[in-house]
Amino acid sequence: MKTIGDTRAEDAIDADSAETTASGGTFLLENFLPHELSVTAGRSTRLLARRFEVAFGLSLAEWRVIAVMGRFGTMTPSTVAERTDMDKVKVSRATASLVAVGLLEQGPAPHDGRARLLRLTRKGRLLHDSAMPLALAMEAQLAAGLSEAEWSMLRTCLRRLQEHMRSLERAALSQATRRHAFGDPFAADG
């Protein structure tokens, strides 16, 4: 027979283990969209990274640089960082490695002697052209887990979500800038 004390202890355990959301529902990390996106992206990224490491000796960051350089041509490391959504330090390390093995070359930008321009070498272009079929084959393997309509809807939803997140980031940056310029930089949003 349960006593009132036993019931209170169970309620306390339940309260500790089941966080609630603002809407009153139970928070489950495994059902939290940012977590689900992160886990899915992480798994696909690790799979791709292993395949590119085995096939071409490239890290994922190096592959992203090769992919964006192959598509857009000559660019600065800052532009590579923007187009790959990688931080500048990661881009710097990847490009230095690619230059060292002869896949990229770098030189001064004509408009700014301090800036560097990167471009694929002939060897880098050949690697790019060899690597893209592997990337597309892996994407096809991922797509095989969904119907054609589901895959199309997923791509549409991801693009819309990315655009929405960009607008949220712009709004947060704008708000933080205003708060810092005109008020208390430590004030909470809201």
pTM of this structure: 0.72
Residue of 134, 135, 98 whose CA lies nearest to 118: 98
Percent of the chain with pLDDT over 70: 82
Structure tokens at 144: 């095989």
Quote the CA–CA distance of 65 and 128 in Å, as a whole number. 10
Q: What pLDDT band is residue 7 in, cutting at 50, 70 and 90?
A: very low
- The torsion angles phi and psi of 34, rounded to 5 degrees, stand at -55, -35
6 or 150: which leads in pLDDT? 150
Angle (deg, nearest 10), helices 33-56 and 122-143:
130
pLDDT at 188: 57
Angle (deg, nearest 10), helices 122-143 and 60-72:
110
List, for residues 99-130, the tens digit of each pLDDT value. 999 999 999 888 877 889 999 999 999 999 99
Quote the CA–CA distance of 80 and 89 in Å, as a whole number. 11
Structure tokens at 164: 């929405």
Beta bridge partners of residue 105, listed in sequence order: 119
Burial of 117 (0-12, 13-18, 19+ CB in 10 A): middle
List, for residues 123-164, the tens digit of each pLDDT value. 999 999 999 999 999 999 999 999 999 999 999 999 999 999
User: Which whole number is the average pLDDT over 9-19?
Assistant: 47
User: Which whole number is the average pLDDT over 10-16?
Assistant: 47
At residue 17, does pLDDT exceed 70? no
Q: Helix, strand, or coil here: 19?
A: coil
- The second-level CATH assignment, the architecture, of 52-144 is Orthogonal Bundle (1.10)
pLDDT at 47: 92
pLDDT at 21: 55
Quote the CA–CA distance of 36 and 55 in Å, as a whole number. 29
Count other C-beta atoms under 10 Å from residue 42's C-beta. 10
Which long-range CB contacts under 8 A does 109-112 form with residues at least 24 apart?
A: 109/76
| Percent helix / strand / coil, the chain, rounded to 5 | 70, 10, 20
Q: Is 95 in contact with 80 (CB distance < 8 Å)?
A: yes
Mean pLDDT, the chain, rounded, equals 85
Q: Which helix (H) or strand (E) holds 33?
A: helix 33-56
